[in-house]
Structure 1
Amino acid sequence: MSVVETKARENVPSVPLERPLLEVKGLVKHFSVEKEGWFERPRVLRAVDGVDFFIRRGETLGLVGESGCGKSTTGRAIVRLYEPTAGEVLFDGVNVAALSEEQFKPYRRRMQMIFQDPYASLNPRMTVGDIIGESLDIHGLAKGQERLERIHDLLCRVGLNPDHAMRYPHEFSGGQRQRIGIARALAVDPEFIVCDEPISALDVSIQAQVVNMLEDLREQFGLTYLFIAHDLSMVRHLSDRVGVMYLGRLVEVAEKEELYRNPQHPYTQALLSAIPVIGGGGREKRRIVLEGDVPSPLDPPSGCAFRTRCRYAEPRCAEMPPPGLAEIASLHYVACWKVSS
């Protein structure tokens, strides 16, 4: 590990005195890309390239950023749908990234996921009752009449009817399918749920209903969420803190009101400037337009990954990445040379 990497590891977000439910340390997920020719060197796609954050019990951390920045890959690596390349995922103090599949099985019950696409995430050959009840069978939680009652109760909690248990996914709308996916995630009484853009595939009229339902379920079951989304307004509504990702790394994390009121990283400022002002009483909001496209994670820029689009970039930004997430205020962390210097 280089001196720069060592320094970055030292500047990870400080953890509260009370142990968080989830703590991610230096999470990395790289994918090997097949060579296209005999003389081409093997290539590595750096989807997640050293991510650090924590989520307190009962809290919702929103995760935002452009498509392809690694948000969904981060969520999948945490619950080990993707095996992490490096780093630690401490769940209730245990590094679940280092556990064998058999050792991890009890944690699968405690960590669940709601997927982005309600059309692709449900098995079309299974009834809704079997989709929800499958995890009950795997973990041996309920059988017979108790299993049926549990399925019916879950359907009611997500706004569906018990008789829907006998139907198939193709008989439901997108919003109803997402409710089925939420019921499936709740079936095993989890403590932590990764919500991977659960509203992005839904009609606008349905999105608010699903977000409000997630908020109610968090209160009912004492859940902890990692809420991944593009909609910055929804993230502000549901989240307690917000993390901003760019090209596989977190560039800013803060309490939601602090982040929206006082963004410090140039990328965060550009993202928030794109939120439309409704009923602003004549106030005009200056839109920050980023030049160029997001660099490829196959060939990321040297130094700071954002420097190729940053209006504040200077020579040292190309020489080395910022020294980790520096705490500039209480629970407000930024990875930027301009802010940390």
Structure 2
Amino acid sequence: MNGNTLRKTPLLQVKNLKKYFNVNKKKLKAVDGITVDIYAGETLGLVGESGCGKSTVGRTMIRLHTPTEGEVLYKGVNLFSLSEREMMKMRRDIQIIFQDPYASLNPRMTVEEIIGEPFAIHGTLHGKKKRERIKELLNLVGLQSEHMNRFPHEFSGGQRQRIGIARALALEPRFIVCDEPISALDVSIQAQVVNLLKELQQKMGLTYLFIAHDLSMVKYISDRILVMYLGNMVELTDSAHLYDEPLHPYTKALLSAVPIPDPEIKRERIVLKGDVPSPIEPPSGCVFRTRCPEAMDICARVKPTWQEVKLDHYTACHLYE
């Protein structure tokens, strides 16, 4: 997709989003100040190590978690200021595909009941029309109408995720949070699901937040990529630039671990020392400094500023100040 086209229309604007959890009378800072625009028709990839807050960002954005601070504007409307009834109407436009396709499907419901549940909740379709729409959705995600009367345990992991995708598409949303939708699947199935998501995006004009830790898959599906570490943003740019010229030391380390299919190409592996610090007591200054191979004295004292280092290439690192 053309970069200039993406820049015209922010569908979703996330402003200083924070989500803290209370743990033993202390604050666990799962998300600590995320600010990003998501443009109509694009896929924004969100990557980082397990436990960095990626899924919490996606769930808090759409109010599955109650935010601690910040705003999320969808078409200019602040989702966090809406009543439950108003938010219910907004959920027709905003949906989520969950990580575990088995845990997210009710084992006691048939496929017809699972995909038809959004229609029942919102009162949009009934009877024969609802049944016909469910058949259409099954065909759309590569399943058959005869699957309607089966239960989730009768399907493979990839098929179950397709059911979850069909449910997310039922109300014809514009924005979908894809919360690690391929991490629970076999590698052979992952590419099928990602290709399906790309096809659906083109057919239906969808906008995605695609959360994952598989950087090669994120590059394939994403227009831009936001890198997170310990609840904080560290880098944001379009996917090609991020892979060709990463700026932040954390991004460089992540990319150095991505396998290259060409044995002739040698890449130096950057191994980060130590463990990820606790989000309950994050390091002072730059949260990455305790593991950063390029850390300086200032990194312990001052939190780096989020800034545009190159055109449409943002990072938070003292190396570029």
Other-structure match for 2:278: 296
Q: CA deviation at 1:297?
A: 0.6
Residue in structure 1 matching 2:128, options 134, 145, 148: 145
Which residue number corresponds to residue 185 of structure 2?
A: 202
AA of the residue aligned to 1:287? R
Give me the whole-angstrom Cα distance separating, in 1, the residues matched to 2:7 and 2:77.
17
2:321 matches 1:331: no
Give the Cα–Cα distance (whole angstroms) in 1 for the partners of residues 300 and 309 of structure 2. Answer: 23
Deviation digits for residues 261-300 of structure 1, max 9, x if unmatched? 00000000000011112124x2311111100011011111
Matching of residue 193 in structure 1 with residue 163 in structure 2 = no
What is the CA–CA distance in structure 1 between the aligned matches of 2:228 and 2:147, rounded to whole Å?
39
Tell me the CA shift for residue 194 of structure 1: 0.3
Consecutive unaligned residues in structure 2, runs of 5 or more: 1-5
Separation (CA, whole Å) in 1 of partners of 2:229 and 2:176:
23
Matched, 1:223 2:206: yes
Which residue pairs with 2:301 in the alignment?
A: 319
- CA distance, structure 2, for counterparts of residue 17 and residue 299 of structure 1: 37
What secondary structure sits across from 1:48 in the alignment? strand
Q: Show CA shifts across 1:92-124 (max 9, x none).
A: 111111211112112111010000001100011
Out of 4, 28, 49, the residue aligned to residue 18 of structure 2 is 28
Percent of aligned positions with the same letter in both sequences? 61
Between stretches 99-108 and 148-157, larger displacement belongs to 99-108
What letter matches 2:46 in structure 1?
L
- 2:59–2:65 Cα contact (<8 Å) kept: yes
- Give the SS at the match of 1:252: strand
Q: Is the 8 A contact 2:243 2:255 kept in 1?
A: yes
Distance 1:253 1:17 in 2: 14
Q: Structure 1's 278 and 299: CA in aligned 2 closer, same or farther, altered over 3 A?
A: same
Structure 1 gap segments, 5+ residues each = 1-15, 36-41
Q: Partner residue of 1:98?
A: 81
Alignment of 1:1-341 (within 5 A): 18-33=8-23, 35=24, 42-280=25-263, 282-323=264-305, 325-339=306-320, 341=321
8 A contact 1:244–1:252 mirrored in 2: yes
- Distance in 2 separating the partners of 1:276 and 1:187: 37
> What is the CA–CA distance in structure 2 between the aligned matches of 1:279 and 1:310, rounded to whole Å?
28
Q: Do the aligned residues in 2 keep the contact of 1:19 with 1:92 (CA within 8 Å)?
A: no
Name the CA distance, whole Å, in 1 between partners of 2:265 and 2:313. 27
Q: CA deviation at 1:249?
A: 0.8
Find the aligned partners of 1:97 and 1:253 in 2 and give their Cα distance.
Answer: 25
Q: Is the CA contact 1:89–1:97 (under 8 Å) kept in the aligned structure 2? A: yes
Q: CA RMSD in A?
A: 1.0
**Contact residue 57 and residue 224 of structure 1 kept, 8 A:** yes
- Partner deviation per Cα, 1:302-322 (whole Å, 9 max, x = no partner): 111000001111121111211
In 2, Cα distance between equivalents of 1:211 and 1:19: 24
Deviation at 1:19, TM superposition (A): 3.5
| CA distance in 2 between partners of 1:276 and 1:307 (Å) | 26
Structure-2 separation of matches of 1:255 and 1:315: 31
Distance in 1 (alpha carbons) for counterparts of 2:27 and 2:136 = 46
Aligned partner of 1:5 in structure 2 is none
Instruction: Tell me which stretches of 4 or more aligned residues in structure 1 moved more than 2 Å.
Output: 16-19
Number of residue pairs the alignment of both structures matches: 316
- Whichever residue aligns with residue 131 of structure 1, its letter is I
**1: distance between equivalents of 2:76 and 2:45?**
22
- In the aligned structure 1, how far is the partner of 2:78 from the partner of 2:310? 29
Measured in 2, the distance between the counterparts of 1:239 and 1:72 equals 17
What amino acid sits opposite 1:163 in the alignment?
E
If the length of structure 2 is used for normalisation, what is the TM-score?
Answer: 0.97
1:17 to partner: Cα distance: 6.5
Preserved contact between residue 75 and residue 194 of structure 1 (Cα < 8 Å)? yes
Distance 1:284 1:20 in 2: 39
TM-score, normalising length: structure 1: 0.91
